[in-house]
Chain A
Amino acid sequence: MTDPAINVSHVSKQFGETQVLRDISMQVEAGKVSCLIGPSGSGKSTLLRCMAFLEQATSGSIHIEGEPLGFTDGPQRRRQSPAELRRVRSRIGMVFQQFNLWPHMTALGNVAIALRKVRGMSRSDAEDRAMAQLDKVGLKERAHHYPAQLSGGQQQRVAIARALALDPTIMLFDEPTSALDPELTGEVLNVMRQLASEGMTMVVVTHEIGFAASVGNRIAFLDGGRLLFHDTPQAVFAAPREPRLEQFLDTYLDRGASMLK
Chain B
Amino acid sequence: MSFDFAVILAKLPQILSGLGVTILIWVGGTFAAVVLGFVVATLRRFGGRGIEVILRAPIEILRGTPFLVQIFLLYFGGPYIGLRLDPWLAGLLGISIYGAAYYAEIFRAGFQSVPVGHVEAAECAGLSRNQIITAILLPEMALLVLPPALNMSVILLKETALLSLITVPELTMTVQAIGSQQYAFVESLVILALVYWALVELANWLGRYAERNLSKLSA
What is the interface of chain A, defined by CB distance below 8 A to chain B? 52, 54, 82, 86, 89-90, 92-94, 96, 98, 100-104, 113-114, 117-118, 146-149, 159, 162-163, 166
Which B124-140 residues have C-beta < 8 A from chain A? 124-129, 131, 135-136, 139-140
Ordered nearest first, which 7 A-B pairs have the shortest CB separation? Answer: A114-B125, A100-B117, A100-B121, A118-B126, A94-B124, A148-B219, A104-B139
Question: Shortest Cβ distance from A71 into chain B, in angstroms?
Answer: 16
Question: Is A102 within 8 A of B129, CB to CB?
Answer: no
A162 to B124 alpha-carbon distance, docked (Å) = 10
A146 to B218 alpha-carbon distance, docked (Å) = 9
* B60: interface (CB < 8 Å): no
A96-B143 contact given A114-B126, A149-B216, CB 8 Å threshold: no
Question: Is B115 within 8 A of A54, CB to CB?
Answer: no
Question: Is A103 within 8 A of B120, CB to CB?
Answer: no
Q: Which one, A90, A102, A118, contacts B121 given CB within 8 A?
A: A102
Which B25-49 residues have C-beta < 8 A from chain A? none
A162 to B121 alpha-carbon distance, docked (Å) = 10
Contacts of A102 in B (CB 8 A): 118, 121-122, 136, 140
Contacts of A82 in B (CB 8 A): 128-129
A54-B125 contact given A103-B217, A117-B135, A146-B216, CB 8 Å threshold: no
Contacts of B139 in A (CB 8 A): 104
Question: Shortest Cβ distance from B24 into chain A, in angstroms?
Answer: 32
Nearest opposing residue in chain B for A52, CB measure: B124
Please give 13 more A-B residue pairs, beta carbons under 8 A apart, in addition to A98-B115, A103-B143, A103-B218.
A89-B126, A90-B126, A100-B118, A104-B139, A104-B142, A104-B217, A114-B127, A118-B126, A118-B131, A148-B216, A148-B219, A159-B121, A162-B121
Question: Shortest Cβ distance from A121 into chain B, in angstroms?
Answer: 13
Question: Shortest Cβ distance from B169 into chain A, in angstroms?
Answer: 42
Question: Shortest Cβ distance from B155 into chain A, in angstroms?
Answer: 27
Nearest opposing residue in chain B for A162, CB measure: B125
A sample of 15 cross-chain residue pairs with beta-carbon separation below 8 angstroms, ordered by A number, consists of A54-B124, A86-B128, A93-B124, A94-B124, A96-B117, A98-B115, A98-B117, A103-B140, A103-B143, A103-B218, A103-B219, A113-B125, A118-B126, A149-B216, A159-B121
Question: Is B120 within 8 A of A166, CB to CB?
Answer: no
Contacts of A101 in B (CB 8 A): 121
A96 to B142 alpha-carbon distance, docked (Å) = 24
Question: Is A117 within 8 A of B127, CB to CB?
Answer: yes
A54-B127 contact given A100-B115, A102-B140, CB 8 Å threshold: no
Question: Shortest Cβ distance from A152 into chain B, in angstroms?
Answer: 11
Question: Shortest Cβ distance from B126 into chain A, in angstroms?
Answer: 4
* B4: interface (CB < 8 Å): no
Question: Is B120 within 8 A of A96, CB to CB?
Answer: yes
A72 to B130 alpha-carbon distance, docked (Å) = 24
* B201: interface (CB < 8 Å): no
Contacts of B216 in A (CB 8 A): 146, 148-149
Contacts of B118 in A (CB 8 A): 100, 102
Contacts of A98 in B (CB 8 A): 115, 117
Question: Is A104 within 8 A of B124, CB to CB?
Answer: no
Question: Shortest Cβ distance from B129 into chain A, in angstroms?
Answer: 7
* B123: interface (CB < 8 Å): yes
Residue interface bits B132-176, CB-to-A below 8 A is 1, else 0: 000110011011000000000000000000000000000000000
Contacts of A113 in B (CB 8 A): 125, 127, 135
A162 to B118 alpha-carbon distance, docked (Å) = 13
Contacts of A100 in B (CB 8 A): 115, 117-118, 120-121
A34 to B89 alpha-carbon distance, docked (Å) = 67
Q: Which one, A148, A162, A163, contacts B217 given CB within 8 A?
A: A148
Nearest opposing residue in chain A for B138, CB measure: A104
Question: Shortest Cβ distance from A260 into chain B, in angstroms?
Answer: 33
Contacts of B219 in A (CB 8 A): 103, 147-148
Question: Shortest Cβ distance from B111 into chain A, in angstroms?
Answer: 15
A146-B217 contact given A96-B121, A100-B115, A100-B120, CB 8 Å threshold: yes
Question: Shortest Cβ distance from B113 into chain A, in angstroms?
Answer: 12
Question: Shortest Cβ distance from B55 into chain A, in angstroms?
Answer: 26
Contacts of B117 in A (CB 8 A): 96, 98, 100
Contacts of B135 in A (CB 8 A): 113, 117
Nearest opposing residue in chain A for B121, CB measure: A100
Contacts of B121 in A (CB 8 A): 94, 96, 100-102, 159, 162
